[in-house]
């Protein structure tokens, strides 16, 4: 499905060397080059007089070289004084090629473009782009903005612009890039054609600069729409392929599940029961389940995972749960061990820290089906791990794994006769419209109810000068036998960000609270030390844990009842909510204190007010989307995840609904056009979603 793909070497000026450089940018065809879109623009349509130049701004100037010198000191190899009728400016070069040295002579007239800076001798441009002006070769003034592309070694902006112009000419001349979006959609949104949109984006008029930088042009929306459409089509097609594959039917019911539910110290919420029934039904089908569970922190996703695992075990198969960190995997292992060992179910745990004899025993038990429930980290999908009868894969905190890693684990369970069921869990609340787009290949379940008896976390917002009150609150909590998190966004001092270092904070707290044991972890703490500190905190040996945001997804410490977040104004809503969710895990009243530094922006004030007024993660995620503040609404970017060239799910969310409608039309009426769109925008990346 190539849509008349034309190899890049067909374009004039592209030899083996240029093609090699372009390949580093994943440009292999003329179509790829057309979709290598500008990342920003420069306005070179107006020549400025030297006396009107403003420092730290880009400008086009013309003048005559009056003086050329080669300073003996410093890094400057060549210094030219350029003059027009209003003033002079210096052109400074640190690297000069031989042909440039021959051009840059006294009396030569130049047109230059670059950043205006203030140097030791006045205004200057460092390594400006320049063209020679001669009487027989006048330079026409550009009529459009100058695009700036993502580049690589061996490809200058001049070369990329020249190639893009050639590709645009080819597009107009030849029959490539046919329209694939239904005409009814184009007309209803007043979109330009694809070719018109590409011409505009690569060579826009000067007056469009403000709208271009804000991504508000119709041409931009037209391309965003098509990219979102291709992404959704890819996910829906993969879902269709996945659902057509065979899987093992895991019969519902059984004594294990009844016994497990009977001995739980609580009853399932209505939301948990609803999601359990959805999963139970999926697992009984003869095609693989591919379901996402969304649930706010503390909503009880682990219990649902346990029920799904028991359904696999009761049918004589294995189930595996993969967690992003060893600490989280170990926590799951301890919980499931407590739940499942009374049911005579054999468990195995596998991570990079499980060594030698123990590791060999674990691998053997997994391979011969002695181990029915397997828990661990990414070590589970390594080549030497062989499963005997894997029927269910559960991935916890899925946004911490790349899609390629998930695919590797899935391949572990493939048999000639069936594919494993997949259950994916996330505690990162995602607004419904975004979830429907980003996870279109998954069936989604929502646990939108917290267990009874769970007390809401009381959130306070305090200015930094009230730290003494916070210290008093911590002292009271520790005296009552409770534990405390203190989160610092940075590791080192920064006068610019006004953030206290975690190290310094830990020292101050230990000094002010000498009877309390203070622990410290941050991004530079070794994995081994981090694990030991977290374990000590979990076991109650540490009263106060000072940490950077590495504990955003961490262990479940029911005794931790106070969360202090410094410089809270610098964190996004989603991150603040995840951090707050580290407390309130037990039945005791818990508190979160958001410390902020003056002055606060209006946006920061609104974010902190939202955190103070609600504990609902989905409401917070929706507000995050509306505010479009810092922080990724979709959570951590996934390694190997499909990245967008031009679309942004947060910024462009108003296009999601019409994209869904267009995808349904194409899949129903024109599968060929759907396949062409997927190939056009995703190429071979689409395979990683299967």
Lowest-pLDDT range of 12-26, 53-67, 194-208, 209-223: 209-223
User: CATH 3.40.50.300 in the chain, residues?
Assistant: 255-447, 458-614
Q: Contact, 423 vs 393, CB < 8 A?
A: yes
Is 2.170.150.70 the CATH classification of the domain at 458-614? no
CA distance 45 to 144: 7
What CATH number is given for 255-447 in this structure? 3.40.50.300
List all residues 6 or more positions away from 378 whose beta carbon is below 8 Å from its beta carbon.
Answer: 322, 324, 401, 405
d(CA 209, CA 151): 21
d(C-alpha 379, C-alpha 321), whole Å: 12
Tokens of 608: 């902190």
pLDDT category at 402 given cuts 50, 70, 90 is low
Q: Maximum Cα–Cα distance for the chain, whole Å?
A: 95
* 496: pLDDT strictly greater than 60: no
Q: How many angstroms separate the CA atoms of 272 and 295, rounded?
A: 10
User: 33-47, 347-361, 525-539: which has the highest mean pLDDT?
Assistant: 33-47
CA separation for the pair 307, 678 (Å, rounded): 37
The pLDDT, as a whole number, for residue 230 is 92
Neighbours of 90 (CB within 10 A): 20
Pick the more confident residue, 215 or 208. Answer: 208
Q: By mean pLDDT, which of 42-46, 148-152, 207-211 is the weakest?
A: 207-211
Residue 690 has pLDDT above 60, yes or no: no
Q: How confident is the model at residue 630 (pLDDT cuts 50, 70, 90)?
A: very low
What are the phi and psi torsion angles at 125 (to 5°)?
-120, 135
Q: What digits encode the pLDDT tens for the residues 59-79?
A: 999 999 999 999 988 899 999
3-state SS assignment for residue 273: helix
What backbone phi and psi angles, to 5 degrees, belong to 392? -140, 130
**pLDDT(644) > 60:** yes
d(CA 486, CA 503): 11
Residue 397 has pLDDT above 80, yes or no: no
- Per-residue pLDDT tens over the stretch 101-115: 999 999 999 999 999
Please report, rounded to a whole number, the percentage of residues in the chain having pLDDT higher than 70. Answer: 90
Strand, helix or coil for residue 509: helix
Q: At what angle do helices 656-669 and 671-682 cross, to 10 degrees?
A: 130
**Structure confidence at residue 594 (pLDDT):** 96
Domain(s) of CATH 2.40.50.140: residues in the chain:
46-141
Q: In angstroms, rounded to a whole number, what is the distance separating the alpha carbons of residues 296 and 451?
A: 11
Q: What is residue 640's predicted lDDT score, i.e. its pLDDT?
A: 35
- Look at residue 220 in the predicted model and tell me its pLDDT: 94
Write down the pLDDT at residue 415.
Answer: 64
Q: pLDDT tens digits, residue range 285-328?
A: 999 998 989 888 778 899 999 999 999 999 999 999 998 888 78
Q: Is the pLDDT of residue 639 over 50?
A: no
pLDDT of residue 103: 94
Residue with tokens 């292999």: 28
Structure tokens at 105: 């002579």
- Stretch 621-641: mean pLDDT: 51
8 Å CB contact between 572 and 631: yes
Long-range contacts of 398-402 (CB under 8 A, 24+ apart): 398/292, 398/424, 398/425, 398/426, 399/426, 399/428, 399/634, 399/635, 399/636, 399/638, 400/324, 400/325, 400/553, 400/636, 400/638, 401/322, 401/324, 401/638, 401/639, 402/638, 402/639, 402/640, 402/641
13-27 per-position pLDDT tens digit: 899 999 999 999 999
Question: What is the pLDDT at residue 687?
Answer: 41
Which pLDDT score is estimated for 25?
A: 93
- The pair phi, psi for residue 478, each rounded to 5°, is -65, -40
Q: Report the CATH architecture of 46-141.
A: Beta Barrel (2.40)
How far apart are the C-alpha atoms of 572 and 550, rounded to whole Å? Answer: 15
| pTM, to two decimals | 0.71
429 pLDDT above the threshold of 90: no
> Which pLDDT belongs to residue 553?
52
**What DSSP letter does each residue of 451-481 carry, written as one string?**
PTTPPPPEEEEEEGGGHHHHHHHHHHHHHTT
User: Does 197 have pLDDT greater than 50?
Assistant: yes
Residue 645 structure tokens: 């060239």
The stretch 491-500 carries a mean pLDDT of 45
CA 404 to chain CA mean position, Å = 15
pLDDT value of residue 404: 55
* 175 pLDDT above the threshold of 90: no
DSSP code of 40?
E
Q: Is the pLDDT of residue 637 over 60?
A: no
Specify the pLDDT at position 641.
Answer: 44
* CB-based burial label for 285 (10 Å; 0-12, 13-18, 19+): middle
Residue pointed to by tokens 């006004």: 498
635 pLDDT more than 80? no
Tokens at residue 251, please? 């019969």
Secondary structure of residue 389 in the 3-state scheme: coil
Q: Tell me the CA distances in angstroms from 381 to 330, 374, 487, one per residue in order.
A: 17, 12, 33
With a CB cutoff of 8 Å and minimum separation 6, the contacts of 153 are 21
- What digits encode the pLDDT tens for the residues 577-616? 888 988 887 778 899 999 999 899 988 999 999 999 998 8
Tally of CB atoms within 10 A around 89: 26
Q: Are 659 and 225 in contact (CB under 8 A)?
A: yes
- For the record, the structure tokens of 367 come out as 């391979």
Counting Cβ atoms within 10 Å, is residue 433 exposed (0-12), middle (13-18) or buried (19+)? Answer: middle
pLDDT in tens, 118-147: 998 899 999 999 999 998 877 888 889 999
Mean per-residue pLDDT, 378-386:
84
Token couple for 620: 């917070």
pLDDT band at 410 (very low <50, low <70, confident <90, very high): low
Mean pLDDT of the chain: 86
Task: Report the C-alpha gap between 493 and 447 in whole angstroms.
Answer: 41
Q: Is the pLDDT of residue 634 over 70?
A: no
């Amino acid at each position: 499905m190539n849509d008349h793909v034309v190899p890049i070497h067909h374009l004039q000026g592209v030899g083996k060397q240029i093609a090699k450089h372009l390949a580093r940018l994943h440009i292999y065809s003329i179509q790829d080059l057309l979709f290598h879109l500008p990342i920003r623009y420069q306005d070179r349509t107006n020549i400025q007089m030297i006396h009107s130049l403003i420092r730290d701004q880009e400008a086009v100037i013309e003048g005559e070289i009056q003086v050329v010198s080669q300073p003996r000191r410093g890094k400057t190899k060549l210094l030219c004084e350029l003059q027009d009728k209003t003033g002079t400016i210096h052109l400074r070069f640190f690297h000069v090629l031989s042909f440039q040295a021959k051009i840059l002579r006294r009396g030569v007239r130049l047109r230059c473009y670059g950043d205006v800076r203030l140097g030791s001798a006045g205004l200057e441009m460092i390594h400006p782009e320049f063209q020679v002006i001669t009487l027989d070769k006048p330079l026409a003034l550009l009529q459009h903005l100058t695009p700036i592309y993502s580049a690589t070694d061996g490809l200058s902006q001049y070369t990329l612009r020249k190639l893009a112009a050639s590709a645009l000419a080819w597009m107009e001349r030849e029959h490539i890039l046919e329209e694939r979006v239904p005409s009814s959609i184009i007309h209803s949104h007043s979109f330009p054609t694809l070719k018109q949109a590409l011409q505009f984006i690569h060579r826009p008029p000067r007056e469009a600069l403000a709208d271009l930088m804000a991504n508000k042009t119709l041409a931009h929306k037209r391309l965003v729409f098509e990219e979102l459409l291709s992404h959704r089509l890819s996910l829906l097609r993969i879902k269709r392929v996945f659902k057509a594959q065979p899987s093992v039917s895991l019969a519902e019911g059984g004594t294990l599940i009844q016994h497990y539910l009977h001995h739980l110290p609580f009853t399932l919420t209505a939301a948990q029961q609803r999601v359990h029934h959805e999963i139970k039904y999926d697992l009984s089908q003869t095609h693989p389940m591919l379901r996402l569970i969304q649930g706010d922190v503390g909503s009880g996703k682990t219990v649902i995972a346990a029920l799904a695992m028991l359904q696999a075990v009761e049918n004589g198969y294995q189930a595996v749960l993969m967690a992003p960190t060893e600490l989280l995997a170990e926590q799951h292992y301890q919980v499931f061990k407590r739940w499942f060992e009374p049911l005579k179910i054999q468990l195995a745990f596998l991570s990079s820290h499980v060594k030698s004899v123990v590791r060999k025993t674990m691998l053997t038990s997994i391979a011969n089906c002695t181990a029915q429930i397997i828990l661990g980290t990414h070590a589970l999908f390594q080549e030497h791990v062989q499963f005997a009868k894997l029927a269910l894969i559960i991935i916890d905190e899925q946004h911490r794994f790349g899609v390629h890693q998930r695919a590797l684990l899935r391949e572990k369970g493939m048999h000639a006769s069936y594919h494993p069921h997949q259950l994916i869990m996330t505690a990162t609340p995602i607004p419904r419209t975004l979830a429907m787009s980003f996870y279109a290949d998954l069936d989604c379940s929502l646990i939108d109810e917290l267990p009874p008896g769970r007390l809401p976390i009381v959130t306070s917002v305090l200015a930094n000068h009230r730290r003494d009150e916070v210290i008093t609150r911590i002292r009271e909590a520790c005296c009552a036998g409770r534990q405390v998190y203190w989160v610092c966004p940075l590791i080192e001092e920064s006068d610019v960000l006004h953030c206290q270092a975690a190290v310094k904070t830990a020292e101050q707290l230990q000094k002010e609270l000498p009877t309390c044991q203070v622990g410290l972890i941050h991004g530079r703490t070794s994995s081994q030390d981090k694990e030991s500190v977290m374990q000590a905190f979990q076991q109650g040996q540490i009263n106060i844990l000072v940490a950077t945001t590495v504990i955003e997804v961490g262990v479940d410490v029911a005794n931790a009842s106070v969360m202090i977040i410094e410089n809270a104004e610098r964190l996004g809503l989603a991150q603040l909510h995840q951090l707050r969710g580290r407390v309130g895990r037990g039945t005791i009243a818990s508190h979160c204190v958001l410390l902020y530094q003056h002055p606060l922006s209006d946006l920061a004030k609104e974010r902190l007010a939202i955190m103070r007024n609600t504990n609902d993660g989905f409401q917070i995620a929706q507000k995050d989307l509306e505010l479009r503040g810092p922080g990724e609404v979709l959570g951590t970017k996934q390694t190997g995840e499909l990245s967008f060239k031009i679309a942004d799910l947060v910024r462009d969310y108003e296009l999601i609904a019409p994209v869904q409608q267009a995808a349904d039309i194409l899949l129903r009426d024109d599968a060929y056009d759907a396949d062409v769109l997927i190939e056009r925008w995703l190429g071979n990346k689409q395979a990683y979603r299967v």
